[in-house]
Amino acid sequence: MKAIVLEQFGNIDNLQFKEMPVPQPQAGEVLMKVVFAAVNPYDRKVIEVYGKEAGIQLPVIPGSELSGIVEATGEGVTGFQPGDAVCGNPGTFGGCYAEYAVVKAADIVKKPDPVSFEAAAAIPVAALTASKAILDEGGLKAGEKVLIHGASGSIGSMAVQLAKAAGAYVLATGSGKNEQRIKELGADVFIDYTTQDFKTVANGVDLVLDTIGGQTQEDSFAVLRPGGRLISLIQPPSEEKAVQHQVHAKMIFGGPNADRLEKSLQQLADGVLKITVEKVYVLSDAKEALLAMKNGHRTGKLLLNP
Ligand SMILES: NC(=O)c1ccc[n+]([C@@H]2O[C@H](COP(=O)([O-])OP(=O)(O)OC[C@H]3O[C@@H](n4cnc5c(N)ncnc54)[C@H](OP(=O)(O)O)[C@@H]3O)[C@@H](O)[C@H]2O)c1
C-alpha cells in the first residue's frame, strides 16, 4: 500500500511517500481501507517537536482520525464486518496517512448514511476533544457564560456549537475572516483577536476553553468570576494564578470515545452540528497539507485522500 512514513523526527520534510506492507488486524482490531484521513496540528507538533519525548517508535505512519471501509476484522471483533462504512479517532500517530490502517474496534463507529466520508473523517478529534473539555471536564451548564479561544479553529468551532446547544452564553475569540461563520454556529459575541483585546470585552466568565496557551491563557484568569473554571488543551495552567483568582484550572487531553462519537455523528446527520472541510489533498501531498496547517489561518479541516 502507499503510505506517508516518518523515519526521523524534527522536520515535515522527513516524511516519505512510499510503499509499505498492508498491516494485519490482530485480536480486537479492524483493517480499514482509508477513504479520508484528517490532518491535525498535533501531527505536525509530534513530527517537529514532541515525537522523541512522547516515545513514538520510528518508522511510523502519522494520522489520528479517519473514515473508511472495513476490509477485515481480527479475532473477537463482533460489531463490524467487511464493507461497513466507519470512522474514528485511533489516537496519536494511529497510522491514518495510508491506503489501509489497522485500528482498535473500540475506537471506531459506523458512519450514518447521511454523513459524508469527508465529514466523518473531520469530526472525531474536534467533537471528542471539545465535548470532553467543555461538557465533561468544564461542566458547562445552561445559562453560564463561556469564553472559547480559537473559535475559528476546528476544536473551537465545535466547542461553540456544543456550548450553544448546552444553553450557554458564548463569547468566542478567533481571526476576523471567520466571524460570520462562528456567529452562525452560535457565538453570541465574536472577538477578533487580531484587532481586539478580549479582556476589554469579557468579564464574569464561568468557563474558559483555552486552545491557544501562552499570553492568552495568562490573560484569561482575569476574565473568570471567582469559582470559575479554565480548561486548557495546550499547557498546564499556573496553579499560583488559579489560587490568586480563586478559580479551578487544568489541562486535559482528548481521546477516543465511541459512545460520544456516535452521538456527534447523529448530531451531524441531524444538522445540529456542522464541520467545515477547507481542502482535500491527495495522500502524496501530505507535506503540503502539514505546511498549510503550520502556516495557520485555516477556515476548516484539511483532509488527505489516499
Ligand atoms: N489537548 C488535546 O487533547 C488536544 C486535542 C486536539 C487539539 N489540541 C490542540 O488545540 C489547538 C487547536 O487545535 P485546532 O485543531 O482547533 O487548531 P486550528 O484549527 O488550527 O485552530 C486554531 C485557531 O486559533 C486561532 N488563533 C490563533 N491565535 C489566536 C489567538 N491568540 N486568539 C484566538 N484565536 C487564535 C487561529 O486563527 P488564525 O490561524 O486564522 O490566526 C485558528 O483559527 C492546537 O494547538 C492543537 O494541537 C489539543
**For residue 165, which amino acid is it?**
A
pLDDT of residue 306: 97
pLDDT of residue 69: 98
Asked whether this chain's domains 2-123+275-305 and 126-251 adopt the same fold, the reply is no
Q: Does domain 2-123+275-305 have CATH number 3.90.180.10?
A: yes
The pocket around ligand 1, CB under 6 angstroms, is made up of 40-42, 45, 125, 129, 149-150, 152-156, 173-175, 193, 211-212, 216, 233-234, 253-254, 296-298
The residue whose C-alpha atom lies closest to atom 13 belonging to ligand 1 is 155
The residue whose C-alpha atom lies closest to atom 29 belonging to ligand 1 is 150
Residues 67, 102: Cα–Cα separation, whole Å? 12
Q: Could you tell me if 94 and 63 are in contact, meaning their C-beta atoms sit under 8 angstroms apart?
A: yes
pLDDT of residue 195: 97
Q: What is the atom index within ligand 1 of the atom nearest the CA of 41? A: 47
Residues 166, 155: Cα–Cα separation, whole Å? 16
**Average pLDDT along the chain, 306 residues, taken 10 residues at a time:** 96 97 98 98 93 90 97 97 97 91 97 98 98 98 98 97 98 96 97 98 98 98 98 98 98 95 97 97 98 95 98
CA of 27 to the centre of ligand 1 (A): 36
pLDDT of residue 178: 94
pTM score: 0.97
Residues 148, 207: Cα–Cα separation, whole Å? 8
Give 225: exposed, middle or buried? Use CB within 10 Å, 0-12, 13-18, 19+: middle
Residues 73, 117: Cα–Cα separation, whole Å? 20
Pocket test for ligand 1, best of 48, 50, 152, 191 (most atoms within 8 A of CB): 152
pLDDT of residue 53: 87
The residue whose C-alpha atom lies closest to atom 15 belonging to ligand 1 is 154
pLDDT of residue 92: 75
The residue whose C-alpha atom lies closest to atom 11 belonging to ligand 1 is 211
pLDDT of residue 106: 96
CATH, range 126-251: 3.40.50.720
Any idea where the domains of the chain sit in the sequence? 2-123+275-305, 126-251
CA of 292 to the centre of ligand 1 (A): 13
Q: What is the atom index within ligand 1 of the atom nearest the CA of 232? A: 1
The residue whose C-alpha atom lies closest to atom 2 belonging to ligand 1 is 253
Q: What is the atom index within ligand 1 of the atom nearest the CA of 45? A: 47
